[in-house]
Amino acid sequence: MTTADQAWRQGGNCMDCAQFMTCSTLGVCLGNPTDAARLDSVTRAVEYMTEYLSEPQRLSDIAQAALLSPFHFHRVFRHVTSTTPARFLTALRMAQARNLLVNSNLSVTEVCMAVGYSSLGTFISQFTRLTGMSPRRFRSAMSVFGQVRLSELTDPAADRHCAPGPVGAVTGGPSGGGCAVLALYRSEEPDDVPLTYGVLETNRLSRIRPLADGAYHAVALGFDKTSTLSDVLGDNGRQVEFVGTGGAPIVVRGGRTFRTFQVALRRPRPIDPPLQLTSSVLALAQRRRPQLLATGS
């Protein structure tokens, strides 16, 4: 087995790392001919992954689509996207699985086959690991919370006048105002479960809940205020409205931060891995459900 094949297999077995979205061209200068060529290669690879999502895919086949050798392709792909080809492919498959579970009547077995898995057990295991629940439980939860608007999950404690906590804003997004799912992680390559998360109004200075001392990396998804949880979680990962990452980490010392944070939203690129926040968003909905039911939602 070649070094590239070993890296491919290791990436495919590391489920936690398929759960994040990074600023894909961080460190990639499009004015540099070499970096522009790398971006073109990765774009071709992602197009191939997406087109043949329901079929088995080998690293050598994807590398061929990118017009690179497998070893060089693996290095280039990670340089451009900050993740491996296998993790990216897994993220695409899980996003499409969520989409089919929400927006189709396909059985779990049929969804499994439609997103490229030959083993139902492997599919269920990976889906559960990545989303925090089984495919059947996810479909059931979305039948209850799918039409809840994301704006209804805005955290009342996010107001800047509330208890101490980091202050900042998610900027950009829809021109008429929107909401963002903000998640904080210890690593620049986040695990599947963020340390803290919430829904904030965009372009508004907000205070998030207090954090333990340390450095945190922020990622966000931005949506229109009318977007529902079905739009956010049932989407196939290619129709996300806005994405963003914090440039500098949020540093907490003595329970305080010494500067405001900012996460700037931008339009997504085809080479952005889908951001997976299923368990986090549904946990917010479950906590807010009594209030939502009381208001007739």
Q: What are 93-137's pLDDT values in tens digits?
A: 998 999 999 999 999 999 999 999 999 999 999 999 888 899 999
Q: Distance (Å, rounded) from C-alpha 54 to C-alpha 42?
A: 20
Please state the pTM of the whole predicted model. Answer: 0.78
**pLDDT interval class at 174 (50, 70, 90):** confident
Instruction: Give the rounded percent of residues in the chain with a pLDDT score beyond 70.
Output: 78
Cβ–Cβ < 8 Å for 251, 215: yes
The residue with greater pLDDT, 107 or 30, is 107
CA 13 to chain centre: 18
192 pLDDT band, cuts 50/70/90, is low
What CA–CA distance (Å, rounded) separates 280 from 88? 20
Rounded to an integer, the average pLDDT of 202-223 is 87
DSSP secondary structure code for residue 115 in this structure? T
Q: Which residues contact 13 (CB under 8 A, 6 or more apart)?
A: none
What pLDDT, on a 0 to 100 scale, did the predictor assign at position 208?
81
* Alpha helices (H) in the chain, listed in sequence order: 3-13, 33-51, 59-65, 70-81, 85-103, 108-114, 120-131, 135-145, 229-233, 278-294
Mean pLDDT, the chain, integer = 80
What is the pLDDT confidence band of residue 190, given thresholds at 50, 70 and 90? low
